[in-house]
Amino acid sequence: MLQLNSINKSYRLGQLEQQALFDVSLDVAEAELVGLCGPSGSGKSTLLNICGLLDQQFDGQVFFSGEQVTGAQQAMRLRRSQLGFVFQRFNLVPVMSAFENVEYPLQLNRIAAPQRKQRVNELLEAVGMLEHAGKRPDRLSGGQQQRIALARAMVLKPRLVIADEPTASLDSQTAHQVVSLMKQLSHQHGTSIVVATHDDRMSSHCDRIIRLEDGRVVSDKEALCVA
C-alpha cells in the first residue's frame, strides 16, 4: 500500500548539513499497524512526515497504492482523500465543534451534507463521543479530544493513517482505549496505520515494529519497543 525506496533525507542547519535518514526502505501492507520506534533524533518524525506525504524534499521514491508520488499537488490530493492524521496534541480546530472537526475532511472532499451527517454520527458513535458532538474542543478532556481526532482521521475511510505519538498526552487508561479504538477502526476499514511512538502501550498493539537509530532502520519485526 505504501512503499518507500531508498529514502535519504538531510537538513541544512546554517553551514552544516545533517543527515536525518540513510537509505531507508519500507513497505506498509493493507490494514497493517506499523510502529516506528527509536530514541529522540533517530529520524522517526522525519520518516513519519515522508510516509504522510507531508515532506517532498528528500532523495528516493515513495509509492502510494502503486502510484509514485512526485509533486506537492499530487501529495495534497492524496492526503485529502486517502490519508488521515492523528497528532500528539490532538490539533483539533478550536472554533469548530466536535461534529464539525470530524466533518471537515468530508467537506474538503465535497461529500453531500446528508451523507456527511450520517458518516460523522457513525464515527462519533464508534469512538463513544456522539453525546459530545456539539461541544468545542476546549470543553473536552484530552482523551475525548484524541477520540475526536481519531474519528476525524478515520471519517473518510482512508487507506493510511499517520499517527504521531497519539498516546503521549494521555493517561494509561485513556491511552489504552485510544489504542484499542485505532486498532478496531483499522481492522473495520482495512486502514493501514503508521504510528511513531515511545509508548510501550501503543507498540504492544502494533503488528510490526520498525526501530530507527541515527536515521537508519536497525530492526523491522514484531517486537516490544522500548525507547
Could you list the residues that contact other proteins (CB under 8 A)? 49, 52, 54-55, 76-81, 83, 85, 87, 91, 93-96, 100, 104-105, 108, 152
> Do 227 and 198 touch, CB atoms closer than 8 A?
yes
Q: In the complex, what is the shortest distance from the CB of residue 147 to other proteins, in angstroms, rounded to a whole number?
A: 17
User: Rounded to the nearest whole angstrom, what is the least distance from the CB of residue 204 to other proteins in the complex?
Assistant: 26
Integer Cα distance of 89 and 58 in angstroms: 26
Residue closer to other proteins (CB basis): 136 or 176: 136
Work out how close the CB of 41 gets to other proteins at its nearest, in angstroms, rounded to a whole number.
14
With respect to other proteins, which residue has the nearer C-beta, 165 or 205? Answer: 165
Q: What is the Cβ-side half-sphere exposure of residue 33, based on CA atoms within 13 angstroms?
A: 20
CA distance 54 to 68: 15
Beta strands in 71-134 (DSSP E): 83-86
Pick the closer one to other proteins by CB: 32 or 103.
103
Q: Based on CB atoms, which residue is closest to other proteins, 15 or 57? A: 57
Nearer to other proteins, 26 or 83 (CB): 83
Minimum CB distance to other proteins, residue 148 (Å): 13
What letter represents residue 126's amino acid? A
The CB-of-81 to other proteins minimum distance in angstroms stands at 7
Residues contacting 123, CB < 8 A, separation 6+:
102, 151, 154, 155
Least distance from other proteins to the Cβ atom of residue 79, Å:
4
One-letter amino acid identity for 90? F
Q: What number of other Cβ atoms are within 10 A of residue 11's Cβ?
A: 11
Rounded to whole angstroms, the Cα distance separating 209 from 196 reads 10
The residue (of 117 and 201) whose beta carbon lies closer to other proteins is 117
- Alpha-carbon distance of 199 to 175, in angstroms, equals 9
